[in-house]
Structure 1
């Protein structure tokens, strides 16, 4: 029993590593910190007004650099690798600091600040006009956050596997004692009831990978200190890839009974002829299920991050309205509510990881169930 759990734990973590790298198709990179100064012409002679909407969006959206803090017009950030392929200039690799926080262009590329391509890297001609979008394979903040979380996952579960191997026959201790009940819970309360004993072992490595990957991403995203704090599961691109994995596994695991119930369900004939109403409904459900998985995880985690930043913004908003005294008076209330939401998000992180894993297991069970 213990050996089975160890094998499942190791498989789950190695699969998590492969999922991220295959889905994103990017090479690993090193992150270097540097302090970048604003150009003199960009510094306003007076203090800029605080824009709450801009502040919230910047903190929950993806970026080409990892901003740490701003102190007296000095931006301390982590430059990330920019990897672009252009039909005109071929492959271009450089650090995001070359863009000077979006204020400069480099090698005929720049980060567009407005318009339909706002937030994306565009290619320029010699006159400075936009000529198109290059193929962008850059290591963004979200991608860097995924790498960090996957390395944490691999480190933790290799340690758990080593601990379990060396303590055979003894009660688990340390981190093994913490994670083993969770692994057993996913197996006994999620995989077995929905898939049965015969099929659960087939899908359990993926379900464990899914649960722990989402859980780690959710939790490290709540820590507002580098190298944590990236809003990974609040990025719809990431949740889309996770939902696509569930969709692909469900589709290719479906047996003949599953597809028969989609294209020729056991319903009265007038629901299938002359208008194939029920087959249309069933086929639509094949695509709405992964869509619901994608949106549910994205919306819940994005909402948690946005609420916290809104509460923090209240300090600066009231400070502009009534001066530092009013801002200071509001700050204890804003901080208290922010801490409460963060604690609530810890619970939500576990719930969302569980719900995503449970629904995936249900879809697998529906696709592989035998005809009764």
Structure 2
């Protein structure tokens, strides 16, 4: 079992290494059309910041690698609405990776100025400030979320059907045997300790949250895929969903504690403000924690690969000498990222359960805790 897992890890690590190697080397040596310097006709120097942004930010296409000076990509649908121009829909390949305008629109390619944003242009090729645009496109983050949702639904429906056929008394088999311990773990170690007798009411949400984050975390490790959980907008939406669940679970004792904390009179207004802000700060901390941990790992892996080419620009021997070191560190960080994928899904789900449990606490609960201690 260990040997199979280690082989899979090696395949993933080498795949990541050579995929990034191909992307970076061709971007440095060939690039897209129009990226040559006009003064000397030479290729642009390596731009680590631009490469990092392309790996972290959302995009209208999946970029896999460059071959023969051309990018190998999977274009995605662009769906735009403008009050002045109406609805427009086409594939992102019409933009030619930001080098061409199409149907009165342009995709920006400046990493320092709204990288990848679609803006309206006039007949003279200038940005038209008089036209408003609302972007409803299927970006790679959206595509990955839809794909993850489909995978999650298929897995849980198939497992549910298997339970209906076999019953709960028969030992699980196949993929069911791998998922059931995770479900049991979330129920026994997350839901029950934090929610008590009401755990069944919130267990479906906690399980959906855990598996959805876990699947997206793991998919984000596939070379060429999108790191959805490394997007602050996505993690904020998850935090808002948890905030809604937390607010619906509150009772009068919770709000009485918020606006009338058991402290001396002069301190009440200050503490009440702190407690009220804490309602929103706690979910926000969940979003920032998940975002920071997932984006940091991807940036570290990319930086380790980029260091090969940074050293190669100084001296080719230095780049070749650093390659084995970079590969070893990349494999190590990649292993850590697999663990982080599970850990961060657990932390987000567990803290959500903790905050929901805190919102359901009342005077009777506090009294029982005091007697118990």
1:209 and 2:208 matched: yes
Pick the aligned partner of 2:270 from 265, 277, 293.
277
Aligned to 1:123: 120
**For the residues of structure 2 that align with 1:185 and 1:118, how far apart are their CA atoms?**
42
Q: How far does residue 166 in structure 1 lie from its aligned partner after superposition? A: 2.8
Aligned to 1:218: 217
Q: What secondary structure does 2:363 align onto?
A: coil
Show the 5 A alignment for 1:1-372.
45-114=41-110, 116-130=113-127, 131=129, 132-168=131-167, 169-197=169-197, 199-225=198-224, 229-272=225-268, 276-323=269-316, 325-372=317-364
State the superposition RMSD in angstroms. 1.8
Please, which runs of 5 or more residues in structure 2 have no aligned partner? 1-29, 365-373
**For the residues of structure 2 that align with 1:342 and 1:310, how far apart are their CA atoms?**
13
- Give the 3 Å change call, closer, same or farther, for CA 40–224 of structure 1 in structure 2: closer
1:164/1:176 contact within 8 Å kept: no
**For the residues of structure 2 that align with 1:94 and 1:181, how far apart are their CA atoms?**
45
**For the residues of structure 1 that align with 2:109 and 2:70, how far apart are their CA atoms?**
20
Q: How far does residue 101 in structure 1 lie from its aligned partner after superposition? A: 0.3
Q: How far does residue 103 in structure 1 lie from its aligned partner after superposition? A: 0.9
Aligned to 1:30: none
2:32/2:69 contact within 8 Å kept: no
Q: What secondary structure does 2:319 align onto?
A: helix
Q: What secondary structure does 1:336 align onto?
A: helix
Alignment coverage as a number of residue pairs? 328
Please, which runs of 5 or more residues in structure 1 have no aligned partner? 1-36
**For the residues of structure 2 that align with 1:147 and 1:328, how far apart are their CA atoms?**
41
* Of 122-131 and 353-362, the range deviating more from structure 2: 122-131
> Could you report, residue by residue, the CA deviation over 1:221-268 in whole angstroms, capped at 9, with x for unpaired residues?
11215xxx2110000111010000011111122111111111111211
Q: How far does residue 71 in structure 1 lie from its aligned partner after superposition? A: 1.3
2:36/2:43 contact within 8 Å kept: no
Q: What secondary structure does 1:94 align onto?
A: strand
Give 4+ residue runs of structure 1 displaced > 4 Å after superposition: 37-45
1:221/1:230 contact within 8 Å kept: yes
- Give the 3 Å change call, closer, same or farther, for CA 187–91 of structure 1 in structure 2: same
1:43/1:73 contact within 8 Å kept: no
